[in-house]
């Protein structure tokens, strides 16, 4: 998506963490030393990624509102930062991974998780990255995934 371009449609939102493997037995968000990343996918369209240092509602909502027009349909997981999307004018559907729910009808975040898997696999080939190179390679993954999956409709 171009900067400052808002779109109407159906979107999937998710967040993930990049970094070294988690220590066995440790679970949960914000694993020490990992970089939090926010993902946005327009279904049958483009991907947008950005580093989100704390993944809070206050941090994510301006990004969402800067990319997605109100009235759009948004699919997310149960992360609390997505509370309030309905109040901001979006049709919001959730799946709750912590309850072993991964799809409910047409509501799922499988498309964005496909990109998440693609980017992690691609970036794992580079053993250790500086923050600047990480961002560049993440953005490059964004473009390559869109081109690969959607036939270059950039």
Strands, E, within 3-141: which ranges? Answer: 10-18, 35-42, 47-51, 73-76, 91-94, 103-104, 107-108
Q: Which CATH architecture has domain 10-19+30-137?
A: 2-Layer Sandwich (3.30)
Domain ranges within the chain, ordered by starting residue: 10-19+30-137
What does the pLDDT profile of the chain (154 residues) look like in tens digits?
445 678 899 999 988 887 766 665 555 554 667 788 888 988 888 889 898 888 788 999 999 999 999 999 999 887 888 888 989 999 998 887 666 666 667 777 777 778 888 888 888 887 777 778 888 888 888 888 887 765 644 4
pTM recorded for the entire structure = 0.76
């Amino acid at each position: 998506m171009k900067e400052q371009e808002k779109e109407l449609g159906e979107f999937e939102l998710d967040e993930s963490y990049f970094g070294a493997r988690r220590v066995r037995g440790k679970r949960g968000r914000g694993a020490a030393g990992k970089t939090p990343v926010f993902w946005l996918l327009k279904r049958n369209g483009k991907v947008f990624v950005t580093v989100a240092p704390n993944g809070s509602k206050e941090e994510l909502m301006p990004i969402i509102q800067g990319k997605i027009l109100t009235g759009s349909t948004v699919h997310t997981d149960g992360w609390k930062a997505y509370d309030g999307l309905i109040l901001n004018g979006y049709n919001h559907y959730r799946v709750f991974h912590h309850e072993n729910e991964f799809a409910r009808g047409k509501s799922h975040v499988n498309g964005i998780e496909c990109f998440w898997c693609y980017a992690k696999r691609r970036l794992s080939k580079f053993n250790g990255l500086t923050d600047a190179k990480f961002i560049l390679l993440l953005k490059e993954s964004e473009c390559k995934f869109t081109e690969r999956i959607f036939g270059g409709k950039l």
